[in-house]
Amino acid sequence: MSKQRMSDLEHYISTALKLAADATETAHQTWSQDLLVDYKADGSALTQADLNIEIRWREAIRKNYPSHGILGEEFGTETGDSAFTWVLDPIDGTRAFGAGLLNYASLISLCRDGTPILGLIALPMPGLLFWAAEGHGTHFEGRRVHTSGRQELDHSVIHLANPESFGSESLSLYDQLKTKGKQRVYDAGSPAYGALSRGLIDLSLNGDDLDAFDICALCPIVQEAGGVISDLNGKPLSILSKGAIVASASPALHQHVLSL
């Protein structure tokens, strides 16, 4: 990577961290007050925090990088004139957020030619975050973190998403994994992928209800920590990805799971 590219990437990291700080403040204030929850046409939850955060994020990105594209959960796609597109999910886990629960996050990713090169998972409560960027590793609270490197499924801590999110093909893998491993945790959302990067979870499986804005930020977080993330056929993830995904602490564990 050229020095110029590194300099640009560091600027993008700085921007993403500022966007995350703004989202954390907004989400914390909204969550702490009287929550008003609306519902979209597809039945998914929506709060004012989702809208306000994404509006401000888009304004900042347009100001700093007018040639970049934007893909966000609430306001769709803005096509840019460069190779770069920001992929945004202001409140990932609005269902939990609107219910006054804590397993939600703000997700920010930057893709180059469709490939995620920067990812950030902000946890507004308790005010912590994970970030990762191409060649920079994965960071949590000022330190670089790594996956466990676990290779054996039988000894793994496994995260499984909400069982209602799995379709016929992915449900088969869900049914197998819910009886395996040393321990299983359920429906933790995107924070589970941060936990995987810290070595606390070894395997994470999500169902068919994911879109690019749910997926892209997770990829650098997992990969830069030494893990592997893909669709259920082992295909790399991108800005075009939708549906079920799986992440593992090591290539060997990932191949074992894909073989199921």
CA-based torsion, 152, 231, 127, 14: positive or negative: positive
Whether pTM > 0.85 for this model: the answer is: yes
- Tell whether 89 is in a known binding site: yes
- Of 37-41, 78-82, 153-157, the range with the lowest mean pLDDT is 37-41
What is the mean pLDDT of the segment spanning 22-27? 92
Per-residue pLDDT at 126: 82
Per-residue pLDDT at 4: 47
> 3 falls in which pLDDT band (50, 70, 90)?
very low
How confident is the prediction for the chain on average, in pLDDT?
Answer: 93
Q: Is 57 helix (H, G, I), strand (E, B) or coil?
A: helix
Q: What is the pLDDT of residues 102-126, one digit of tens each?
A: 889 999 999 999 999 999 999 988 8
Name the architecture of domain 3-136: 2-Layer Sandwich (3.30)
Fold agreement between 3-136 and 153-258: no
CATH 3.30.110.30 for the 153-258 domain, yes or no? no
Domain layout of the chain by residue ranges: 3-136, 153-258
- Single-letter amino acid, residue 227: G
Question: Bridge-partner residues for 110, per DSSP?
Answer: 86, 118
- CA-CA distance, 127 to 176, in Å (whole number)? 35
- Tell whether 38 is in a known binding site: no
- Tell whether 214 is in a known binding site: yes
- From the list 57, 45, 53, the residue with the least C-alpha distance to 94 is 45
> 90 falls in which pLDDT band (50, 70, 90)?
very high
Question: Bridge-partner residues for 183, per DSSP?
Answer: 157
Question: Bridge-partner residues for 119, per DSSP?
Answer: 109, 132
Question: Bridge-partner residues for 33, per DSSP?
Answer: none
